[in-house]
Chains A and B, each alone.
Chain A
Amino acid sequence: NAGVTQTPKFQVLKTGQSMTLQCAQDMNHEYMSWYRQDPGMGLRLIHYSVGAGITDQGEVPNGYNVSRSTTEDFPLRLLSAAPSQTSVYFCASSSYRALSSYNSPLHFGNGTRLTVT
């Protein structure tokens, strides 16, 4: 079991460029989510999915796009990168649709450090 795999680990973009952050899990988890982590702030939810074909917005969705064509993959697309998107991005998955289930811990990827110049 690889768990949650995020790629790349580091990325530098110029303003206006687009790119895709990859997230894959091999645990057959229904729930997958993307967060950004900025200094002095908690993790903030960007987008999430409760199953293949289903996505929804989180707290800070602007400038990001997601799709969930398979259970395993949940890529995050930056449409036109801006310096405000400089951050560390985490993908996480869980085994149940409803995170309040008793045995649904979150599994995190190792993060992607993105710098937009």
Chain B
Amino acid sequence: KNEVEQSPQNLTAQEGEFITINCSYSVGISALHWLQQHPGGGIVSLFMLSSGKKKHGRLIATINIQEKHSSLHITASHPRDSAVYICAVLPSHEKLTFGTGTRLTIIP
């Protein structure tokens, strides 16, 4: 079983819909990262969380340390949000463990 599980693996939605991507992990962590991988392959860091909630524009990330769960929300989704979203956790000693990603497609 992977230490980091993301759901869903694939998500297709209409433009304007509210999007939720989930990340569950099985180990104690000191931080969790959300990353975005564009269709061209580049990877961008969206958020780093150790507790609570962060917001950047239309993106919101939350984490519940007790439940070992994090969610990434996108409000008013747009076709340019189409990408693979990756969750990564930091259990210890600078070694990140990554989920397999959620492929999001927003249809105009």
Which of A's residues lie within 8 Å of B, judged by CB? 31, 33, 35, 40-45, 48, 50, 56, 58-59, 88, 90, 92, 97-100, 102-108, 110-111
Interface magnitude class on chain B: 20 to 34
Q: Is the CB of B45 within 8 A of A100?
A: no
B101 cross-chain contacts in A, Cβ below 8 A: 42
Which of B's residues lie within 8 Å of A, judged by CB? 2, 4, 30-31, 33, 35, 41-45, 48, 50, 86, 88, 90, 94-101
Q: Is the CB of A43 within 8 A of B98?
A: yes
Describe B's contact surface by its main secondary structure. strand
B45 cross-chain contacts in A, Cβ below 8 A: 105-108
Q: Is the CB of B96 within 8 A of A99?
A: yes
A88 cross-chain contacts in B, Cβ below 8 A: 41
Task: Say whether, besides A100-B31, A106-B35, A48 and B94 are in contact (CB < 8 Å).
Answer: yes
A59 cross-chain contacts in B, Cβ below 8 A: 95, 97
Closest to B29 in A: A100
Closest to B92 in A: A100
Q: With both chains docked as a complex, state the minimum distance between the C-beta of A35 and any C-beta of chain B, in angstroms.
A: 8
Q: Is the CB of A110 within 8 A of B42?
A: yes
Q: Is the CB of B33 within 8 A of A106?
A: yes
Can you list 13 contacts pairing A with B, beta carbon distance less than 8 Å?
A42-B98, A43-B88, A44-B98, A45-B95, A50-B94, A88-B41, A92-B43, A98-B30, A98-B94, A100-B90, A105-B45, A106-B45, A110-B41
A31 cross-chain contacts in B, Cβ below 8 A: 94
Q: Is the CB of A43 within 8 A of B41?
A: no
Q: With both chains docked as a complex, state the minimum distance between the C-beta of A113 and any C-beta of chain B, in angstroms.
A: 8
